[in-house]
Amino acid sequence: MARIEEILELERLERDIFRGIIAETTLTRTFGGQVAGQALVSAVRTVDPAYSVHSLHGYFLRPGNPMEPTVFLVDRVRDGRSFATRLVTGIQDGQAIFTMSASFHVQDEGIEHQDEMPPVPDPETLAIAQDSEDPETAWLAREWSDWDLRMVPKADINKRPGAAAQQQVWFRSREALPDDPVFHVCTLAYMSDMTLLGSSRGPHMDVAMQSASLDHAMWFLRPFRADEWLLYDQTSPSAGFGRALTQGRIFDSRGNMVAAVVQEGLTRLYRPK
């Protein structure tokens, strides 16, 4: 697997046109987080550094081919005094595979509050994903070997009252990453697609299903580093009609809520060919 610095280092083809690399993978389709992360980098490169990205909303339109690079076209929708907006389209073989709107904000003073971080085991006390007996977790560790993933055992999750499905994962980059805060934001966009849809499988572990990300939204709330421990607290409040809704809150190890994620994914029953 390519290092995250390589994945997010896009080639500028024109003023508002960028191209990502082909990253080595065992996946049969381009990883959704890679497309989202590269799309966000494309948007960031067209915005004045005084503006910070605070949200993104993306749709996965077609499965990407991991053996082809993705080209990103950026539309400069708005540049206002407080906010800027960009639309990004990811293209392969002349067809759109992904669209994203990203909003940027000049930070202001205002009210402040946040949810408390849930009680959770320290990541250093948990088994590393490479040692997991679960085949899917072990595969994640091999595919993203640059990342330290620690799944919280189901027995150790302080389940929310009434929650239909819940999952918790600690993660961080194994290597130190550049100090640029924007790089860490784009890296989190990349990582946020990993494991989230899996939270919907909790009550249905014995059911064979076909899954894929359909849409993805993120809000970046506070500064953080992706090479320090981050807790991904995930729930799936509803599933039906072949789709599942999933939600995630991301906390740093000091309890600061740094991001929020919502995703809907395909979860239809497996259809043998």
Query: Which residues are tagged catalytic?
Result: 193, 213, 263
Helices 181-191 and 32-44 cross at an angle (nearest 10°) of 150
Contact 183, 7 (CB under 8 A): no
> Residue 115, Cβ neighbours under 10 Å: how many?
11
DSSP 36: H
Q: Which residues are CB-contacts of 154 (< 8 A; sequence separation ≥ 6)? A: 202
Residue with tokens 């807790």, as numbered in its chain: 231
Segment (H or E) for 68: none
Interatomic CA distance for residues 58 and 102, integer angstroms = 9
Contact 210, 204 (CB under 8 A): no
DSSP 29: S
